[in-house]
Amino acid sequence: MAYWRRSSRQMQAATGGVAVAPTSPVAEKPKSPRSRMMRQYDLVERVRSYNPDTNEDLLNRAYVYAMKAHGTQTRASGDPYFSHPLEVAAILTNLKLDDATIVAALLHDTIEDTEATRAEIDNIFGHEIGALVEGLTKLKRLELVSREAKQAENLRKLLLAIADDVRVLLIKLADRLHNMRTLEFVPHASRRRIAEETLDIYAPLAGRMGMHEMREELEDLSFHVLDPEAYAVVKQRLDALADRNRNLIGEIESQLSKNLQKNGIIARVYGRRKQPFSIWTKMERKSIGFEQLSDIYGFRIILGEVEDCYAALGVVHTTWPVVPGRFKDYISTPKQNDYRSLHTTVIGPGNQRVELQIRTEEMNQIAEFGIAAHAFYKEGMGSPTERLKHESNAFAWLRHTVGILSESANPEEFLEHTKLELFHDQVFCFTPKGKLIALPRQANVIDFAYAVHTDVGNSAVGCKINGKFAPLSSELQNGDEVEVLTSKAQSAPPSAWESLAITGKARAAIRRATRTAVRDQYAGLGRRIVDRLFARAKIEYADDKLTGALPRLARTSIEDVMASVGRGELKASDVARAMYPDYKEERLVRYGAKKSLAVKLKLKSEPHPARSTSVIPVRGINSDLPVKFAPNGGAVPGDRIVGIVTPGEGITIYPIQSPALKDFEEEPERWLDVRWDIDETMPQRFPARILVHNVNEPGSLAQVATVIAEHDGNIDNISMSRRSPDFTELTIDLEVYDLKHLSAIIAQLRAKAVVAKVERVNG
């Protein structure tokens, strides 16, 4: 939300030097205007105006029930609380919604804020209305660690309810709209939070559902709260421009109407001014000032038939010069929210740029009211199956999105993906077979691949854009033809793709594939650990025998068992006992710490046919297994090494001489045979630590660093401590290629006069 972090000076520059006094938060609650509350008969008349067959008795019962349920409750403004659900219902009558929706609007806060229950509402008003009201009820008594988590869980509940019945969304948007209209009475801190949530979630959701008029009002109301100074500046400039151009707007409307009529086209033409929020965001996005905007006013040409739209376009383009690159045909290629229209920009009277939208009356209804303009949720549409035949693309998108988002691992992840999915500026691209793929602006080939199919995304290794090879991170443009190149050898995407992807679908799929790949890694590691124990104990392992023991291990599958062993959550000996109750865990004979350690390492270092398959190759820090090195000293190729399984972290590699290994003497199941597997054609550096006793004189540290640099060593970290007035002890973490490389550096350091002693540290 960078647009309300700009300074007053920046805003003056962007808006042509006009300054407005900053608006400070209101110290006291403003008094409510106390406008007359709508009466029972008023509501019934509003519904009857578009639905002569309305169930007046149902509406009357809901009105009385809600009024009694809320009783003496009041809003922050001091008005009776019942005025709020009544106004929500009134907003929905403007959308000409069915009786059940109006009734649910009247009752939408009863379960949450009164003694009413779902069972009682079902009994009085029926299951359909009860389900709508429950879908609008927030989660209560939810023990979550953050406000974001609670917000995410409430949003998840709402979206799932919307996926079952879109009328839940229409009521929720009307509810939020009325709350935003009366936000001035809410405390300042809560006001900002509600406005941010509206701008982040509800306004984009309204836009995704094609309800642009509601989206624009929600955006402007939020903008006014979040940055009143910027809002005032833009509003002032818009009002001044309107005064200057009042005659010009009428002239353009008149000329358009006359030219169309002259060509036998009957049309309704009207101009409208863009809203402050859309003006401000465009100034921010393009880094331009107010005077540089050329499309503050837009004109709509409303016609009867689709053919008339293209005929009107021809008249416009032959009358005035066209601005290149500004024509878009959303009739032949509608947006995902069902928006259809022709867009073009011409140089009109007075050399003024004129932005035109050309559409039919039906398209205009859908553009303004979105899914509320569809008839599939209205009464008399038959069974749910028949209703789905009339489902809008926007609602289909919502169902699909909820299906993806419900797989998110945690509430915050769900909220993040929801926000990504809601913003609706789009580019349209094509597969080589001509299938249209709609993506958000700034989407790349990774997003495209996952939009085609999850398997295509997971196995993508390259791409061609318009026949030319390009990186998978390439941003896509309208009309691009994209061919995704895949490989069966890649079953999971690189985890780094998650930071490159734009769409929630791609990010969720990458995160899911990464989790699966990590689980498979742990399962593979766990299987090796189990195989090794069974071979050492000379007992037979079989999957079918382990299947019978799953209940004793509280796991549902063999893979779960192996992954738990790999993560250190289960011991291999627990698996053996579950399969063989008489199994007794191996106990090592103790000869003192050093002796027992030597015996164990000797057993691990000697090849043995029964456990030759348990040796795990170590490929440095880029291993396919979760591998890391000993924290205090590391290990380098040339060292004899041993692996220790660390619960939840994977394998830690220690050199054989590390004193830290004595801490694991009593846990033989955690020890693994490991070996180096280094590709000599691709040298890698590995961690080591040395201790240098340096003469305390000027330039001594520089001499040590020079020796290391001249012999191609890399200093990762260095710490100093004064042991005596004459000597300084340096602890240096190095990165070297192997033991030979490390030994050469140590030898060169020992040859320096300023160095008294050098030794390697084994943590």
Cα–Cα nearest to 86, from 72, 70, 198: 70
CA atoms within 13 A on the CB side of 624: 10
CB atoms within 10 A of CB 65: 20
Query: Cα-flanking dihedrals φ and ψ of residue 524, to 5°?
Result: -65, -40
Query: Cα-flanking dihedrals φ and ψ of residue 688, to 5°?
Result: -150, 160
Q: Where are the beta strands (DSSP E) in 382-499?
A: 426-430, 436-440, 460-465, 468-470, 482-486
Residue spans of alpha helices (H) in 198-245: 203-208, 212-226, 228-244
Q: Give me 641's structure tokens.
A: 């090494």
Q: Give me 107's structure tokens.
A: 């009752």
- Spell out the residues 6+ positions from residue 531 whose beta carbon is closer than 8 angstroms to its own: 541, 611, 613, 614
DSSP assignment of 62-87? HHHHHHHHHTT-B-TTSSBTTHHHHH
Cα–Cα nearest to 648, from 558, 496, 522: 522
Is residue 427 within 8 A of residue 439, CB to CB? The reply is yes
Question: How many angstroms separate the Cα of 19 from the Cα of each of 23, 239, 334?
Answer: 12, 15, 41
Is residue 133 within 8 A of residue 110, CB to CB? The reply is yes
Q: Is 680 helix (H, G, I), strand (E, B) or coil?
A: coil
d(CA 531, CA 523): 12
Residue spans of alpha helices (H) in 245-275: 246-262
Active-site residue flag, 113: yes
Q: Give me 655's structure tokens.
A: 């050199």
Cα–Cα nearest to 397, from 153, 159, 132, 135: 159
Residue 273 β-bridge partners: 297
Active-site residue flag, 305: no
Is residue 263 within 8 A of residue 285, CB to CB? The reply is no
Sign, CA dihedral 749-752-754-757, equals positive
Q: Give me 446's structure tokens.
A: 């990774």
Is residue 105 within 8 A of residue 47, CB to CB? The reply is no
Catalytic-labelled residue, pool 53, 56, 99, 112 = 112
Q: Is 591 helix (H, G, I), strand (E, B) or coil?
A: coil
Question: How many angstroms separate the Cα of 496 from the Cα of each of 126, 160, 469?
Answer: 51, 30, 21
Distance of CA 212 to the CA centre of its chain: 23
Catalytic-labelled residue, pool 113, 253, 412, 716 = 113
d(CA 364, CA 370): 9
d(CA 136, CA 110): 10
Is residue 369 within 8 A of residue 338, CB to CB? The reply is no
3-class secondary structure for 683-725? CCCEEEEEEEEEECCCCHHHHHHHHHHHCCCEEEEEEEEECCC
d(CA 289, CA 11): 9
Query: Cα-flanking dihedrals φ and ψ of residue 22, to 5°?
Result: -60, 145
Rg (CA), the chain: 35
Query: Cα-flanking dihedrals φ and ψ of residue 489, to 5°?
Result: -70, -20
Is residue 356 within 8 A of residue 345, CB to CB? The reply is yes
Residue listed under structure tokens 């289960």 = 570
Q: Give me 703's structure tokens.
A: 């001499």
d(CA 520, CA 507): 20
Q: Enumerate the active-site residues.
A: 112-113
